[in-house]
Amino acid sequence: MTKVIVHSLFTDFDIDLFKAGKHFKLYEKLGAHLIEVNGVKGVYFAVWAPTAQSVSVVGDFNYWTQGEHNLNVRWDSSGIWEGFIPDISKGALYKYKIQSSINGVITEKADPFALYCEKPPHTASVVWDLDYKWKDENWMQNRQQHNALDKPYSVYEVHLGSWKRADHNRFLSYLELADDLVKYVKETGFTHVEFMPIMEYPYDPSWGYQLTGYFAPTSRFGKPQDFMVLVDRLHQEGIGVILDWVPSHFPDDAHGLGYFDGSHLYEHPDRRKGYHPDWKSLVFNYGRNEVRAFLISNAVFWLQNYHVDGLRVDAVASMLYLDYSRKEGEWEANIFGGRENLDSISFLKEFNEVIYANFYGVQTIAEESTSFPMVSRPTFTGGLGFGMKWMMGWMHDTLKYFQKETVYRKYHQNDLTFSMTYAFTENFMLPFSHDEVVYGKQSLIYKMPGDEWQRFANLRLLYGYMFTHPGTKLLFMGAEFGQTSEWNFEQSLDWHLLQYDFHSGIKRLITDLNQLYKSQPALYEKQFTADGFEWINYSDHQNAVLSYIRKGNNPDENVIVVCNFTQVVRENYRIGISKKGKLEEIFNSDASIYGGSGIENGKSLKIESIPYDGREFSVELILPPLSVTVYSFS
């Protein structure tokens, strides 16, 4: 058996950066790399295990025998074990057998930097490369035009394992999705896709939020290059790709990061900071330099090697607070006596600084549900540095309002108008995500009150209100055609529903709303600033009607939005207008093509010199039942 040859990819500068927590391309050094040494092909292995007494590479090439291929520890106290093993090729299976110098414990671990993993439930790492010829040059050179904060940003959230399945409930592969999913997203008009975590995970019911292979796209759907094809195809069709990223916690599976070298290497050693009671998982030690470098390197890896356009960071609230989901006595205050996790806050700021400094035209998005200030503000002003933040308060208040019978809505209009008191404190994304359609919460269509017609009218109204409200948009798969059942990760969406008019009408509505959003600069150019929005009338509680103006850079392109939140048709409904001219109805959620009653305004509505709503002019409209109507000046 060929033994390990002493070899290193690390320079002294690499080691200095690693120790300082400033090496953000660790994946180029750690892990398994197919290289050639003195004319001999093989694999260079490197793993961080500072408390190890010995580290062996075991795999199908040595019958999983410990001691056959022992790595050498570096002399520089970095804790890195490394070596070159000849005659191993791409596709070889391997793990690390690590014996602790502290207690003699032997762990058998998958490679934290593995590029590919065995298909679960198997847990070995696979020697692989990232060779691929990308064809998305045009997108990559111009993606700032698609991802900027003053551009339309409509996101389709997808769980790859349950979007659609083949016969006998088989997963679709990345390559099949590169045909079916790309075509569908293009057809429905979304600007971006957000994939729920695709990094390798062992347990399907975690939906991918309990990761063990941070650098490997899950092998459930194919090889790494197959996932590249999916991203590439989306880019070629002008669609951006966002990945769910989970730096907040990780599972304690035996082959994972937990207790990696017999010590608390990746997780915080204090259980009050290193264990998450909600998810029964481990929490990263954000104060340890090497762990910070691991996580930031991972973020850089997906942006660099998979051409990803953004990262949606999961469970940020759990990272920010030491007492998150913990009872009194289960947490310890920071050095200033507060509940903020200072190490985590520092880490998030550095993560955002590195991403925005190194990748032009990308976005980071925080799933953060508290009132923590300045999440989406630059770090140089004291913010966390994210590009956007999920507007969880808007989502909860809006759904609470819509679940009410229409007769009671006039008493609760403040549930809707309250969002505008804080809408511009952050760069908000409006999310109707997977979390809202599981665990007994019902699908969006069944949150709506009334008979069947009213349910669908309410849903059309909800979507119209969402797309005309300031902020970017996110919709979970299935919502775009009125999925009736709760999301089930073990099966396909209910695509058969599209044979019914109400459901196909919802899909057409979403397609047209995406087109409206993209075609009207007033809906996106100032979607994060107060001067992009103006109330016409927010106090017509009695009729449960809201009217407002969305503004862009050109005042002539402003649009007017009127929402009727009851099933009563409002004829001769007058709203104030600030200038003369005519209005044209450019969108109506009650149109018959969507399954509505077909009540419409004329194509040309004359603005009259009749003062109203504190304005010099006004116009008279017909408000269809449970509808959003949108008007432009003509």
List the catalytic residues: 314, 367
In angstroms, rounded to a whole number, what is the distance separating the alpha carbons of residues 293 and 300?
10
In b/e form, how buried is each residue of 349-384, taking b as 16+ CB within 10 angstroms? bbbbebbbeebebbbbbbbbbeebebbbbebeeebb
Parallel, antiparallel or unpaired: strands 80-86 and 40-48:
antiparallel
Please state the three-class secondary structure of 378-418 as a single string.
CHHHCCCCCCEEECHHHHHHHHHHHCCCHHHHHHCCHHHHH
DSSP of 325-390: T--TTS----TTS-SB-HHHHHHHHHHHHHHHHH-TT-EEEE---S--TTTTS-GGGTS---SEEE
With beta carbons less than 8 A apart as the criterion, state whether 47 and 74 touch. Answer: no
Of the candidates 623, 519, 617, 613, the one whose C-alpha atom is nearest the C-alpha of residue 562 is 623
In angstroms, rounded to a whole number, what is the distance separating the alpha carbons of residues 403 and 450?
10
Structure tokens at 70: 């022992």
In angstroms, rounded to a whole number, what is the distance separating the alpha carbons of residues 632 and 634?
6
234-237-239 Cα angle (round to 5): 55
Cis peptide before 611 (omega within 30 of 0): no
In angstroms, rounded to a whole number, what is the distance separating the alpha carbons of residues 69 and 308?
36
Q: Fill in the DSSP letter of residue 6.
A: P
In angstroms, rounded to a whole number, what is the distance separating the alpha carbons of residues 542 and 566?
10
Cα 544 to the center of its chain, rounded Å: 34
